[in-house]
Amino acid sequence: MRSSRQKNITGPNYYSEHRCLSCGTSENLGRRRYCSIECRQKLRYALNVRTGLLKALNTRYATFSFTDRVIIMDVLPFGSKEIFSFIYSRSLDKKPAEDYCRMSDMLGNEWWAEKKRTNRHYLASGHLLKKAKRHNSLIDHVIPIETEIPAIKNSALTYLKLGKAELNSPDLEKIVKSAYRLQAKKHHPDLGGDTAMFRKVHQAYLKLIDWSENPSYMKRRGFPDKWFYDGNKNGWVQPTPRR
C-alpha cells in the first residue's frame, strides 16, 4: 500500500524489533503482540468510532498501520481499481490512536465543508480522494488474507502446557496424552494435588482429544501487521495472528 519510494518509511517491516501493534512500544513486550489489553482496545475504539469517514468514501476495504514517523490509512472504494493512501506525519508524544483521530477529524471536516459547498455527496468524496496518493498496482495490499484458526480455547492448551503450533502436529493425540499424564502427576488429589486444578486439566484433556479427532477451524480475514476494515461489516478488526 505504498509506492517504491515510500518503502523506507511505511513498510510493515520498518521496525527492526518487536513492537506493540497498537502503540509501537517495545518496552516489556516480550513475545506479546500488544503491550496491554487497554492499549489494543483504545486503538480499536478510535478506529470504530470514526467509520463515518470510510462510509462517506464508499469504502470496500481499508487498512491502518503506522511507523515512528507516519500513520497510513489505505482505502479501496467499492467499484475502484485504485488504492487511495492517506499518509500523515506522527505527532510528538502522541499514540497512533490519537494521531488517527486527528487525521480522521481533519478529513471529515474537509469532507463536510465540500459537501456543504457543493451539496453533492460524491463531489465531497471525490474532493477528498484527490488528496490521497493513488496506486493501481497494489490492490492485493488491501484485499484481506483469509486464515484458519483452530476453534479451541487457549485455556485448554494452557492447562496442558502446550503451544498452538502443536495443534498442527500429525501426532497431536500422542502429544496431548503425554502432556496430560505429566500434568495429572502434578495435580492429582491422590498425589497431593489440588482437586479443582486437576478437574480443569482433565477437562482440557478431553477437549483436546475431541478436537484432535474432529478438528474444526474459524476463518478470519485480515493482515498480520495492519488493522483491517471491511465495508460490508462497517467495522475494524485487529491484525490476525501470524502463521
For residue 225, the 8-state DSSP code is S
- 29 or 176, greater pLDDT: 176
Give residue-wise pLDDT tens across range 83-136. Answer: 999 999 999 889 999 999 999 999 999 999 999 999 999 999 999 999 999 987
Model pLDDT, residue 175: 95
Q: Which residue has the higher pLDDT, 241 or 124?
A: 124
Q: Is 5's pLDDT higher than 80? A: no
- Cβ neighbors of 22 (< 8 A, separation 6 or more) are 34, 35, 39, 40, 42, 43, 95, 96, 97
pLDDT of residue 10: 38
pTM over 0.85: no
For domain 152-215, the question of CATH label 1.10.238 is answered with no
- Going by pLDDT thresholds of 50, 70 and 90, the confidence category of residue 7 is very low
Q: What angle do CA 169, 170, 171 make, to 5 degrees?
A: 85
pLDDT at site 6: 35
C-alpha cell at 36: 496491554
160 near 119, Cβ under 8 Å?
A: no
Residue 120: the pLDDT is 96
For 166-198, the pLDDT digits (tens) are 998 999 999 999 999 999 999 999 888 899 999
Which pLDDT score, from 0 to 100, does residue 17 have? 58
Helices (H) and strands (E) in the chain, counts: 8, 8
**Total number of residues shown for the chain:** 243
Identify which of 60, 47, 63 has the alpha carbon closest to the alpha carbon of residue 10: 63
Q: What is the pLDDT confidence band of residue 15, given thresholds at 50, 70 and 90?
A: very low
The domain segmentation of the chain, as residue ranges, is 4-146+223-237, 152-215
pLDDT value of residue 4: 32
**What is the chain's mean pLDDT, rounded?**
88
Phi, psi of 61 (to 5 degrees): -135, 155
- pLDDT band with cut points at 50, 70 and 90 for residue 140: confident
Predicted local distance difference test score (pLDDT) of residue 9: 34
